[in-house]
Structure 1
Amino acid sequence: MKIEKSEKKDHEVLIEIWEASVRATHDFLQEEDIITLKPLILEQYFDAVDLTCAKDDEGKIHGFCGVHEGNIEMLFISPESRGKGVGFQLMEYAIKNQSATKVDVNEQNKQALGFYEHLGFNVVGRSPLDGQGKPYPLLHMALGKI
């Protein structure tokens, strides 16, 4: 996999990966949450982060990561590519090249929590609501010992 800067032309593929990934890993979300979030991510959130994607030799995108001011704002891997090191490569790039040291993870997303802990992130705080004010608690994590 190559990690490259994402381009605007990639956004349609990225939003498809986002939706497939969310449906595979965020079973606590309601259908209305996904419907509400999808246009926001496509029209606003992608442009608000430093966005990279993991591409294979044929140029197919398998996952993406968005970083803003040292915070990993989004990391989504296509369901068929999960468990194959794509998330690790994107995170390694974000930490080494984008100065990423923080991430927020939904408390209900135990797989993501375990993934970030495995990479050396520790829980340093908790918010009862997510960024949209919904009752999906967020765990605030930071890299290294705090």
Structure 2
Amino acid sequence: MDLYILRHGKAGQSFNRAEDSDRKLTSEGRSDIRKVARWIRSKKIRFEVIATSPLTRAYETAEIVARTLKEKGRLEVWDELSPGGNQETLFSHVAQYDKDAAIILVGHEPALSGLIGTIITGGDTASLILTKGGMAKIRTYSFDRKPSGDLQWLLTPRQMADMQ
């Protein structure tokens, strides 16, 4: 399985916790994610599912990707991608897909970096940062007894734009 992990684009500020889930992408954030989505399309990457956190900024990010790839029917909201979501539930959800599937998860920091670290090291020993709009690819993801896989790449939106 190829597991792609995408952090949402730049979002507006919130001034209290109640507004956090409703924060929308900024115009710069939407622009960056459109570039990322076009890069994904140029690499001919297709996803079995585009799974997203229900928070507005992540959902908007996933929607731009789905629309650009003409895969809106593959867009699903997974609550476990919300901040504080249960990582074990996420692993179980991903494990339901075929070993030849390609899946993209759209969510938030620090959970996504923690997720990548857990998969590639089997614990929490990896230290990495997934920038806003950044994306990672984990190849040969599996979930036999515990999640495992190889980090193939970790890119910023600028790096993806420079490779087009």
Q: Which has the higher contact order (CA 8 A, sep 6+)?
A: 2
Task: Establish whether TM, by shorter chain, passes 0.5.
Answer: no
TM-score, structure 1 normalization: 0.34
TM-score, structure 2 normalization: 0.31
Higher strand share: 1
